[in-house]
Amino acid sequence: MATLSLTGVRKSFGATEVIHGVDIDVAEGEFIVIVGPSGCGKSTLLRMVAGLETVSSGEIAINGARVNEREPMDRNIAMVFQNYALYPHMSVFDNMAYGLKIARRPKAEIAERVTEAARLLQLEPFLKRKPRELSGGQRQRVAMGRAIVRQPDVFLFDEPLSNLDAKLRVQMRLEIKALQRKLGVTSLYVTHDQVEAMTLADRMIVMNEGHAEQIGAPLDVYERPATVFAAQFIGSPSMNILPGEGAGDAVVLGNGARVPVAQRAEGKVLLGVRPEHLVLDPEGAIALETGTSEPIGALTLVHGRLEGSTLDCVASLPGVHRESGLPAIQRFSVPPGLAHVFDAGNGRRLAG
Amino acid sequence: MAAGGHSGMVERRGASLWLTHAGLILGVLVIVFPIWLAFVASTVTQAEIVRPPMPLLPGDQFLENYRKALVSGINAPVATMLLNSAVMALGIAFGKIAISLLSAFAIVYFRFPGRRVFFWLIFLTLMLPVEVRIVPTYEVVARFGMLNSHAGLILPLIASATATFLFRQFFMTVPDELVEAARVDGARPMRFFLDILLPMSRTNIAALFVILFIYGWNQYLWPLLITTDPQMNTIVMGIKQMFPSGDDWADWPVIMATSILAMLPPVLVVIFMQKLFIRGLVESEK
């Protein structure tokens, strides 16, 4: 159990800066998810905490002690890799025991800790097998077992579920969450999947091009996204962004529609509306020329264009709506409290 | 390694089956016939060989000829030459594997100044076979006083650009994540080398061992140059030394027995290592 803090952490490869200063204090036992598109620097950040990449400037501290210059093994961290990185010639037992063997722990202790981890992960029947004789999910568990037996201060996960099929991913996601709760180990988890981020995180770091766009609890980020990027990255399908003109308590869209909002909007703004917050309303301000609709069962995604413009817009409606049953122009309204207003210049959320 | 996808292979029958088999049998006969003749010649008396036509069936002198070859030979007992050859071939094979594993490890996993230069230097020596550098090499070995010694036979042939290159290529296919996992587990570089890289390379090592053993066993020019003492002769050059100079008659049965004996170890290595090699291939599947 440990705290982890990053202070002004930057990383440059040659002249190119790829991480532009990240600050966060992680509390004991907290589960932090770093989420962002590929190339945003999230893996680099994780690898800097692991000690696999050097830190160009700033400080990484575990339990208050600076670890920038320490080798990975001296940081008391454990890492789960994207492709599991199991030693192919070693049995499951040896894979999990390798770190402890190097640390010269007594044989009895190693056996006890590995058996305990195997029990926890339901790997007991497979201890003698080689990694290639295991399924993807089992390999994933071995990789986690290898992390657990070291009893580290911090768990680091580098997109651990991206190689699993969709069903297994959901299952392993729950297992990781339950396991982390049970062990109470401070964790840093990198993913590009916003669903994983939403479901796993105590707090998430939304990263874009080396910047931490927003750090906060998943629902806070969902309800009050700090930037257009965070707004569009979190939530699926992603938020509709409609340019308009601020008119105090409303936003006037390009086609003249006046959408009431709860924020104070002045000047050029971007109106953000989540598809699930568009409500069917014959009197609504937002009129869509309906196009394709995607029935998913519990809900229907209606794709369309804002009337009189070329702006694509998606509405997520509960229940089944057949394409043939939708009018050519469908009007929606949005509850003022659920509309988001961003500055059109810098993409930041407007206060108030 | 899913190689099981050929269940729909066309069944061969009729004339083409017979033709291919006839071709194969003919090919085998062409290759085996001289070896058979050598074997026959090693089991008969000198008189039977020199009186035409040559016998085509083994005689009754097998034990006598082989005993004579192994124990007394012509210049040196064949047993001694076999031992010298074995020492040389094993020394070269193990030495080359050890050195090239370590140098490939250095080149792939460590950033040191001149890394590229060293790699290309090693690579360049690929183009220099033993024969090209044989005179300066002889000079060096002579000054070190290693003529007529096992060290002299082995050391100059022990560096291998080919093997280094092969291991380099293999190491580069080892995922970086594995290196990083080992680092997180606390393995220092040599520990990683011994615990992870070496076991993962064992199929390559087995394959290389076969090739290098035969390479070492079949060395001819180098032993011929540096061993003047018959006690240090290797078997491949020793056969040549058995041919008489001038008008002496050649002891063909003994020479042929020696030839057969010289052939056996490489054949055994191939047969034995092939099993290991294939087992290794199957086991190291990802």
Determine the 3-state secondary structure of B255 from DSSP: helix
Among partner residues B182, B187, B200, which is closest to A88 by beta-carbon distance? B200
Give the pLDDT confidence score for residue B57 in this predicted structure.
81
| Interacting residues of A239 by C-beta distance below 8 A, sequence separation 6+ | A225, A231, A232, A272, A273, A274, A275, A340
Whether residues A159 and A54 fall in one domain: yes
User: End of a domain among A232, A252, A275?
Assistant: A232
**pTM tops 0.90:** no
> Is it the case that residue B281 has pLDDT exceeding 60?
no
Instruction: Work out the average pLDDT over B271-285.
Output: 66
Among partner residues B181, B199, B283, which is closest to A81 by beta-carbon distance? B181
Among partner residues A72, A84, A103, which is closest to B184 by beta-carbon distance? A72
> Is it the case that residue B246 has pLDDT exceeding 70?
no
Whether residues A101 and A76 fall in one domain: yes
Whether residues A28 and A46 fall in one domain: yes
Give the pLDDT confidence score for residue B3 in this predicted structure.
43
With a cut of 70, which residues of chain A have pLDDT below it?
1, 352
The residue count for chain B: 286
Whether residues A298 and A206 fall in one domain: no
User: End of a domain among A212, A232, A252?
Assistant: A232
Q: In this structure, are residues B92 and B157 in contact, taking their beta carbons and an 8 Å threshold?
A: yes
Whether residues A151 and A102 fall in one domain: yes
Q: What is the pLDDT of residues B61-95, one digit of tens each?
A: 888 888 888 887 777 888 888 999 999 999 999 99
Whether residues A148 and A194 fall in one domain: yes
Give the pLDDT confidence score for residue A274 in this predicted structure.
95
Long-range interactions of B155-159: CB distance < 8 A, separation 24+: B155/B95, B156/B130, B156/B222, B157/B92, B157/B96, B157/B130, B157/B216, B157/B219, B157/B222, B158/B91, B158/B92, B158/B95, B158/B96, B158/B99, B159/B96, B159/B99, B159/B100, B159/B125
Domain that holds residue A319: 241-343
Contacts of B285 in chain A (CB under 8 A): 132
> Is it the case that residue B280 has pLDDT exceeding 60?
no
Q: Chain B residues with CB-CB distance to A under 8 A?
A: 175, 177-178, 180-187, 191, 195-196, 199-200, 283-286
> Is it the case that residue B1 has pLDDT exceeding 80?
no
Asked, for residue A350, whether it belongs to a domain, the answer is no
Structural domain tally of chain A? Answer: 2
Shortest distance, CA B202 to any CA of chain A (angstroms): 10
Give the pLDDT confidence score for residue B10 in this predicted structure.
58
| A–B CB contacts, 8 A cutoff, strictly below | 63
CA–CA gap between residue B129 and residue B125 (Å, rounded): 8
CA–CA gap between residue B87 and residue B187 (Å, rounded): 35
Asked, for residue A187, whether it belongs to a domain, the answer is yes
CA–CA gap between residue B115 and residue B107 (Å, rounded): 6
Asked, for residue A56, whether it belongs to a domain, the answer is yes
Whether residues A214 and A265 fall in one domain: no
Whether residues A201 and A125 fall in one domain: yes
> Is it the case that residue B54 has pLDDT exceeding 80?
no
Give the pLDDT confidence score for residue B285 in this predicted structure.
43
Q: In this structure, are residues A237 and A314 in contact, taking their beta carbons and an 8 Å threshold?
A: yes
Helix axes B78-109, B252-283, angle to 10 degrees: 30
pLDDT band, very low/low/confident/very high, at B131 (cuts 50, 70, 90): confident
Whether residues A81 and A188 fall in one domain: yes
Among partner residues B186, B284, B285, which is closest to A99 by beta-carbon distance? B186
**Is A79 touching B (CB cutoff 8 A)?**
yes
Torsion of CA B198, B199, B202, B203, to 10 degrees: -130
Whether residues A182 and A99 fall in one domain: yes
Whether residues A144 and A188 fall in one domain: yes
Asked, for residue A349, whether it belongs to a domain, the answer is no
User: End of a domain among A175, A199, A232?
Assistant: A232
Supply the ipTM of this predicted assembly. 0.84
Q: Give the domain CATH number at A167.
A: 3.40.50.300
Shortest distance, CA B200 to any CA of chain A (angstroms): 7
Give the pLDDT confidence score for residue B156 in this predicted structure.
85
Give the pLDDT confidence score for residue B8 in this predicted structure.
46
| Cross-chain residue pair B186–A146, CB shorter than 8 Å | no
Q: In this structure, are residues A215 and A204 in contact, taking their beta carbons and an 8 Å threshold?
A: yes
Nearest chain A residue to B196, by CA: A87
Contacts of B182 in chain A (CB under 8 A): 87, 98
